[in-house]
Structure 1
Amino acid sequence: MATPEIAVVGAGIVGLSVAFALRERGVAVRVLDPGTPGNAQSGGASRIFRHAHDDPRMVAAARASRLLWREWGDRLGIETVSGDGAVAIGDAVPRRLAVLRDDGGVPARALDPGELAALLPALAAYEGPAMIDEAGGSIRTEAAVAALVAALGDAVVADEVLAVRPRDDGRVEVVAGGGRRTYAGAVVCAGRGTAPLARAVGVEPPVALAAHIRMTFPVRGPAPDRLPCLQDSSGAFGETGVYAAALPGNGLYGLGIAETVAAGADGALADAAGLEALAARTCAYVARALPGLDPEPTGARACWVTELPWGPDGVAVWPAGGALFLAGHNLFKQAPGLGVALADMATGATPSLDLRPAARLGAAAG
């Protein structure tokens, strides 16, 4: 009997990871996306890999994904995550460090001000709580996407999906611009496009749609050998939700503020000028907090945020017949593990992650 074919809707990092994991199982797969793979919510030259989360289940999931990132890097012949580590500062540090210590599998420790200054000299003087996740680092996003696309070859098809229709026989019809086809199953991980496809079959992922902006700043002087990622929840420099990751070569630092501009379900921004205001605040933060960077950005990237109500790291899957609809935010670092879990679900196996909405995976503290 021929191995059943699975449709994957969306060629972002999660969709590509699902397809790669299915291929590993010998399952024929087709990835459908109207645009350039990895160029929507997965776009940009870097992301933070971190183990620190409020939800201990997400720490364990991050450990599993970190192992897969290493394995995939060896097999695909690329660096997937830098060895520079991930630094966090602010009031969230003691709580998250305690979760990491309870897990026991993550090499993380508190930093005193002198150690912090030595690890991240670009940062202004800071005396508050700080930690280093030694196994964190900057994800080489573009290299990872390109390698997965190359490995999948002609399984990645440029086509727009208009509808995903579960059938009474358990199969799934996918209606795309290039025609309609029936598959043994479908996995929909299409970013902001997931919720509309799900609603059409009576499934309602409670996604809040918004937009944010990340900017790229040059490092002053020679590129350092080590440039850790940064999460700043301290408020010491005027913002309480800042994240940054080095681009390959460590001469540029990609940085953003976690605050977003709300959008309606139709994708219309509530305040079209809001992204410009966030960009100005980002530059002002760099001038205050990171004197080792030039506060004049060399580039910017705006993209959508699809957040679930239980927190910015929340993720879940809504099944409908033979179709699976994934929603969540901050998924790049977890993509290998999510790919394996969704491949398990699509082929009838029990996944290692509990992705039921009721599980509230990635729930924020509080």
Structure 2
Amino acid sequence: MSDGVAVVGAGIVGLSTAFALKQRGAKVTLFDPAPPGSGQSAGQSRLFRHAHTDLRLVDFARRSRALWRQWQQDWGIELISDGGAVAIGPAIDQKLETLGGFDDIPVRTLDPDELHQALPILADYRQPAMLDVDGGAIRTLSAIEALSDRLSDELVTDHVLSVRQTSSGTVEVRTGTGCKEFEHVVLCAGRGTAALAHGAGLSIPVEVAAHVRLTFPVRGAAPEHLATFQDGSGAFGETGVYASPYPGNQFYSVGLSDTVEVSDDGSLTNPAELAGLADRTAAYVERALPGLDPRPVEYVHCWVTTLPWGEDGVGVWTAQGISAVVGHNLFKQAPALGEALAEAAVGEGLPDQLRPESRLGHD
């Protein structure tokens, strides 16, 4: 006898999927051996931005932003800050052109004075900058806690060893302490998704790497408003920098886009490179963000799972009774992604753009 829908992984995507299923009246079981949000969703802040190379992903971000806003209203908590999202570097011309095609995504250029107001911790910068007005910092801990509270009865603290289709058309889930059959299983297990999916006959070309981001104190009084930041300019010695404020704007999290390779056996090819990335991040902060104390007070080390077609790529692999989602930079997309995965799990179909052959989020 089948037991509704199982969601494997209680990161932000798994939580969003389980919540969407529960709202639809489905019976849900959410599996994770660790506290919700402690894997690839860890940390106190993420960037919400609309700008992507793929117009379909921009549209997907619009849907997610609307859901973040609805959750914020329904739950009475701040889930995305009001500081906006600042970007600098040569790519902003393309971003402005892309976002200009959406009437409901306010975006504009910033002169140096406006840039300083939005990002007072930044060193003097006189080149073009842009502001995504409805972007901002996702309050990750608030989001994880709010969703977890609404799913406390559905959460099972156990690890999943395998999933497989049965001859009766159900999907068997074997955990550390049990074995159950479900009508559908959604795999949102981060680094573990591809391995579980492989056991069910799905081959996912995911690339796994390790990453580090650091948190730095803001010097002096915390600004009332503080934007998130993407730096692709190279003006301060690095490109591919991202950063976002913590709640209260007293701390700022900064990361470089570079990662450390993982060997076939799952180990880091060179663990010392993580320390090197951390040192480069602190050095960048000293050059580019003088409004921060360059001595980090917190480290977040995590796995990065990317698809071959781009760092923002996302795809959902499906087999009878199974959906497996893989991608990178998914936190901001979690509300809309959870809705789509829930719809597929209850037989309403998966949007074509999420299928791997659509290469959603291609560079």
Query: Structure 2 vs 1, CA of residues 320 and 266 (structure 1 numbering), >3 Å: closer, same or farther?
Result: farther
Match of 2:204 in 1: 205
- Following superposition, the deviation at residue 4 of structure 1 comes to 5.9
Moved more, 129-138 or 11-20: 129-138
Partner SS, residue 101 of structure 2: helix
Aligned to 1:51: 50
Note the C-alpha offset of 1:149: 0.6
In structure 1, the partner of 2:36 is 37
* Structure 2 partner of 1:273: 272
Matched, 1:263 2:262: yes
Q: Kindly indicate whether the alpha-carbon contact (under 8 Å) linking 2:3 and 2:180 is maintained by their aligned counterparts in 1.
A: no
Per-residue deviation, 1:229: 0.1
| Matching residue of 1:322 | 321
Moved more, 213-222 or 170-179: 170-179
Q: How far has the Cα of 1:113 moved from its partner?
A: 2.0
How far off its partner does 1:169 sit?
A: 3.4
Distance 1:265 1:29 in 2: 34
Q: 1:178 to 1:251 in 2, by over 3 A?
A: same
Shift in Å, 1:117: 1.8
The answer to whether the 8 Å contact 2:12/2:37 transfers is yes
Unaligned ranges ≥5, structure 2: none
Report the number of matched residues. Answer: 363
Superposed, 1:1-366 pairs within 5 Å as 5-352=4-351, 354-364=353-363
**In the TM superposition, what whole-angstrom CA distance separates every residue of 1:296-341 from its partner, at most 9, and x where no partner exists?**
1111110000000111110001112101111000000000000000
Post-superposition offset of 1:119: 1.5
Contact residue 88 and residue 233 of structure 2 kept, 8 A: yes
SS at match of 2:143: helix
How far apart are the structure 2 equivalents of 1:44 and 1:267? 23
- The alpha-carbon distance between structure 1 residues 17 and 353, as it changes in their structure 2 partners (threshold 3 A), is farther
Structure 1 pair 193/265, CA: closer, same or farther in 2 (3 Å)?
Answer: farther
Q: Partner of 1:102: helix, strand, or coil? A: coil
Q: 1:251 to 1:258 in 2, by over 3 A?
A: same
TM-score normalized with structure 1 length: 0.97
SS at match of 1:97: helix
- Tell me the distance in 1 between the aligned counterparts of 2:222 and 2:266: 39
Deviating runs (4+, > 6 A) in structure 1?
none
Contact in 2 for aligned 1:84/1:228 (Cα 8 Å): yes
Residue 291 of structure 1 deviates from its aligned partner by 0.6
Conserved 8 A contact 2:3-2:181:
no
CA distance in 2, matches of 1:48, 1:266: 31
> What is the SS of the residue equivalent to 2:291?
coil
**Which consecutive unaligned segments of at least 5 residues does structure 1 have?**
none
User: Letter of the aligned partner of 1:149 in structure 2?
Assistant: S
The structure-2 alpha-carbon separation of the partners of 1:153 and 1:10, relative to structure 1 and needing over 3 Å to count, comes to same
Q: What is the RMSD of the two structures over their aligned residues, measured on CA atoms?
A: 1.3
Whole-angstrom CA distance in 1 between matches of 2:189 and 2:328 = 12
SS of the counterpart of 1:284?
Answer: helix
